[in-house]
Each structure stands twice: as structure tokens, then as C-alpha cells.
Structure 1
Amino acid sequence: MSNSQSLEHRIRAAEQRVAGTYGLTITERLVTLRAPSVQVRVLTTGSGAPVVHINGISAPVLGMAPLVAQLPGFRHILIDLPGHSLAPPYSWQGRTVRELAMGVLTGTLDALDVARAAFVGSSLGGLFTLWATLDAPDRLTRAAIVATPATALPGSRGIAEMESLTSPIRGGLDQRLMRLPSPRFVARFALTEAIGAPAARAMSDDMLDLHRLPLRLPGQAASYRSLLCRLMRGRTPRPENVLTDAELARIDTPVLFVWGEHDVFSSPDLARPSVTRIPGAQLVVVPSGHAPWFDDAPRCAALIGGLLAGHDTPTTESEHRHA
């Protein structure tokens, strides 16, 4: 068995254990698209109205299992974007990232014969979801944006790892280092900067493996760096990836933002002026970092479940602030 096959076996075994931990029965499908010419990995669980989940950059979509498990009664469609987890590598070149993202999302929905769905996007997935509300609004019923939606809103910033990876001098070295074996405690420490210490400590070893092992597969670290370089320059989002006030005002999909008060990529207060420009959008601040469902999955699920059911989000000052 080759090293790549061994890694894939370990990743799949960890996925099975994570799914079992949260009581999820997962069906896997690899979807081949033409425009762009990529392959998307889709995991499906449950039955009912469709809810599409989109992963953050370099993160596995099954990392959202703690949240999915708290939302019964839906057909959950978990999309591993190209170059993520076990989805084949992809360079994200040729057209704008926004155009590529829309091709991936709409093409995947078409392949699955899903006309419209609710979307739950985390980080990069939140950016893709907000783009979809503007460029493919007929495909979304509702949208939950969990944590800072990558570069979408003014004021967001990258972390040190992103600055290093996008550097012409250090980026190539960092990319090669990602492919080297390392102990779990190193990966857990690295995740701490991005998602916060409590969430990183709470992550099981299997969940941690789903985050760290895919980057060692051929092409995945290069995919991560390529996409990151198209989104950011150092720690600063590239202007073309930031939504304008006029675009925000055009969004008419019901949107809920679930934002950790300690989110390292942007604070809720920085986000609030942009969120208020989206008609009817709600901003709920929860006591967490950039991955709120690792800190409090039931709370996040209750908020998102309310959105999916069409309920107004309740405001309780002791738990969160409302935009």
C-alpha cells in the first residue's frame, strides 16, 4: 500500500468513527463537473428538505458533524470543496474565485437534482454562500453564515499562517512542510490560533485527524495555498473578494450570522455595519471563536434550526447580542 493509499485509509477510518460518534449514516458521492472541470466530494445524511453545508478553507466538511447531528429532519448535503479532504486537488485558476465557486455550487446542485436548498457556510463556505445569494439567488431558500465569512465583509483579516503561506519567499517552504508527518499536538496547537483554544482542546483525535491528514495527500497543500493566494495578499483580503455596500443591500435571501465574540478573523462589532446593510439579516453573537459549533453545538443548532423553520431569532442579552 502506498503512502497516499495509507493516508486515505486512515482518513476514511477517522470519518467513519466521527460519523458513528454523532449517530450519522453517511453516503459518499464524487461529482464530476464540466464548468469548471473539477470533482466535488459530497457526503449525504438524513432525509427531508435539503440543507447544503460548505466547509471552511483547508477544513473537512465532516468537521461540521457536531452541528449536523443536532439538526434532525433534514437531508444534509455536505460538500467537500475541490482540493479539500478527499476531494481531488484543484488550483482554483482560470477565472475569478467567485465565478469558480458559483460553478462548483450550482453544478453540484444540478448533479444532485436539487433545485433549491438552505445553505450553511462556515468561513470560506460563508463567503461562497454570500456570493450565491447574489449570483444564484434562486438556488437558496435561507442562508446561515457561521463565523467570519472569510474575506466577504470589510474589516476581516488573516492570521500569521496565512501571511506566511501567501508569501513568495516562505510560502513554498510552508507548503512542503504541511506534507510532512507531525504529531497531533502540533496540529492541535496550530488550530488554536484559527479556532480558539477551547475548541481546539475539545476536538477529538479523530476530528483532529480529519483536519490534519488530508494536507499530506498529494496536491492538497498546493491547492490550499493556491486558493489562499487568490483570496488574500498577506493578511489582507484581495479587494475583489470583499462585498461592496451596494452588493450587501441587494441580498434578499433570509440570512443569519452566527458569530463568535472571540473570532480571530473579525469581531462582531466590525461586522455589524455590513450586516445591517443586508435587508432583514440577523447577527447573533455567541461566546466562542471561529468554530462556534465546537464550543456549543446545541446553541448553534438551535439558532440555525430556527432559521430553517422560518422563525425569528430570539434575543437573550445574557447569551448574545442582536444586530
Structure 2
Amino acid sequence: MLTLGEPTVRVLTAGEGEPLIHINGISAPAMGMAPLIAGLPDFRHILIDLPGHSLAPPYTWQGRTVRELAVDVVTGTLDALNIEQAAFVGSSLGGLFTLWTMLDAPDRVSRAAIVATPATALPGSRTIAEFDSLTSPIRGRLDEIMMRLPSPRFIARFALTEAIGARAARALSDDMLDLHRLPLRLPGQAASYRALLCRLIEGRIPRPENVLTDDELARIDTPTLFVWGEDDVFSSPDRARPSVAKIPGAHLVVVPGGHGPWFDDATRCATPVREFLSVAPVPEQERDRA
């Protein structure tokens, strides 16, 4: 565990080489990205369970803006690990946190692979019925209570279907499914999930302050790859292309699958990420001359 002032993150590491930071989606465990990580050899993989996620202690995400809190959590984790700069792989909420860090602490991110819709970051992103229910004042409290209660695996598998798709949900091993469902029974974790979700969206609409503007997209000068599942429920690749085109030098690759495309086809998802990370970054002075 790493305590960063008030919030605490849980960090797992594997492998040797240059550091590669992984940040997963809301309510999901860092180890949920294991199938993707298996296709990315020769790195020191650093998997971050964000505050209130998996086995990291609960956190209510109150006070300052979520963006400020997110960037402090990311940079504070790097500081605690004595990492000045690293490459990132961020998915869903992790993609949003990575993009915010690229804007507000650009020297900390050498390059970034954003896998799946980066939460609310890009205009036109949608939400799902589960989020609409969780952010409702009354239904949300009932949902929070239900998440804390024991339930059979098939209910958790069904609940994940809306977000990641039926094929990916069926493909999840029981162990991987348990990594997603069991932490929500721990004291405070379901409340943390709901508190963060309420600060990201209102009903089924992303809060405007969490959507990047065209000017912000144009200011990103970190090498960036977007890997997008062709059936991502939160946004289609075609809907995302205009926003990605505003980021200088960014590329978008479409792969089979939904919002967690590494669960649909880990190899097809890992290949473009591995190729992108293997290219040496252009020195800053050369980018300035370009």
C-alpha cells in the first residue's frame, strides 16, 4: 500500500525493465488487465489499484475536483515509487486519469496507450443503465446495499455484460470474475464506487467539467495510441475519431471486442500496444523543431 496523504493506493509489480504504469477502470481491479499485460513482455509492470478500488482502502473523492484528485494520485504514486517519468496504459477511468495527467503534469508521461473509451474524456461518450441507477439518490443507495450482499457468480457475470459485452463476460474465468465482484463487499468499497461515479456523471450524462475541450485535446503532445473495441458500448470508434484527430500525432486502432477488448481477444488487443510502446520516443527538442 502507498499512502498519498489521505488517499491510499495499492500497487502490484511484475517483470523487469522500463516501468509501465497500468490504470484500470472504475470499480475494476488492477489485476483485471492481466490478460493484456501477458502480451507486453520486457517491462516492469506497475498495476495501480486506485483509492477505493479492489483492496485499496475506501475513498470518497470529495473536496477538490476529481481531476485535481486524480492527477495528485497518479503523480503521488510516481513520486512514492521514485519514478520521474513512465509510459502508461490506461483503460476507461484509467484512460481519463492518464489524459488528465498528460495535460496537467505532462513531464510525468512519456507515452500513453488508451485502451477502450476513456470514461468521460471525449465528447459524445455515453453511459449505461447501471450508472444511471447508481447515481440516482434513492435507487443508488439500494444498489449500493445490494452490491455489498453475497450473490452467485452468474449475477455478477450478468451485471458485467452491459459494460463489457456478452462475449467478454462469458469468457471471464471464475477467478477473474471474483476479482471484480468480491471487493465490492468490503466495507466502504461500494460507497467509494458510487461516490466517484456521482462526481463523474449525472444520470446518464457526463458532467461537463470531466469532458476534455477541443483546446485541451490540441494541447496534448505526448505520443498517444487509442485502442478501441469495435463494439464498445460507451462510444464507437467512429464517434471517437474526430476527437482523436485533434490530438497531434495520435492514432486510433480498432480491435475486436467491447469495452474490455483484452477479454475478447487478448492477442489482438496487446499487439498494437506492444508495437506502440516499442518505438523509441522522439526527444522533446526534435518535436519542437518538427
Which TM-score applies when normalising by structure 1?
0.86
Do residues 214 (structure 1) and 192 (structure 2) align? no
Cα shift at 1:157: 1.0
Cα shift at 1:311: 7.3
Cα shift at 1:60: 0.3
Q: What residue is the counterpart of 2:224 in the other structure? A: 255
Q: Provide the rounded CA distance (Å) in 1 between the counterparts of 2:236 and 2:212.
A: 17
Q: Provide the rounded CA distance (Å) in 2 between the counterparts of 1:228 and 1:49.
A: 33
Structure 1 residues 19-46: Cα deviation after superposition (integer angstroms, max 9, x where no partner): xxxxxxxxxxx00112xx1110000000
What do you get for the CA RMSD once the two structures are aligned?
Answer: 1.0
Alignment of 1:1-323 (within 5 A): 30-34=1-5, 37-310=6-279
Identity of aligned residues (%): 78
Structure 1 residues 98-155: Cα deviation after superposition (integer angstroms, max 9, x where no partner): 0000110000000000111000001000000111110111001110000000000001
Structure 1 residues 47-103: Cα deviation after superposition (integer angstroms, max 9, x where no partner): 101100001000001000011111110000000000000000000001000000011
Give the 3-state SS of the residue equivalent to 1:59 in structure 2.
coil
Which TM-score applies when normalising by structure 2?
0.96
Give the 3-state SS of the residue equivalent to 1:163 in structure 2.
helix
Cα shift at 1:286: 1.1
Q: Provide the rounded CA distance (Å) in 2 between the counterparts of 1:143 and 1:240.
A: 22
Q: Provide the rounded CA distance (Å) in 1 between the counterparts of 2:31 and 2:138.
A: 33
Aligned residue type for 2:88: F
Give the 3-state SS of the residue equivalent to 1:213 in structure 2.
helix
Q: Provide the rounded CA distance (Å) in 1 between the counterparts of 2:168 and 2:202.
A: 27
How many residues get paired?
Answer: 281
Q: Does the 8 Å CA contact 2:256/2:268 hold for their aligned counterparts?
A: no
Cα shift at 1:261: 1.0
Q: Provide the rounded CA distance (Å) in 2 between the counterparts of 1:194 and 1:300.
A: 17
**Structure 1 stretches of at least 4 aligned residues deviating more than 2 Å after TM superposition:** none
Q: Provide the rounded CA distance (Å) in 1 between the counterparts of 2:264 and 2:171.
A: 8
Give the 3-state SS of the residue equivalent to 1:47 in structure 2.
coil
Cα shift at 1:292: 0.7
Aligned residue type for 2:269: C
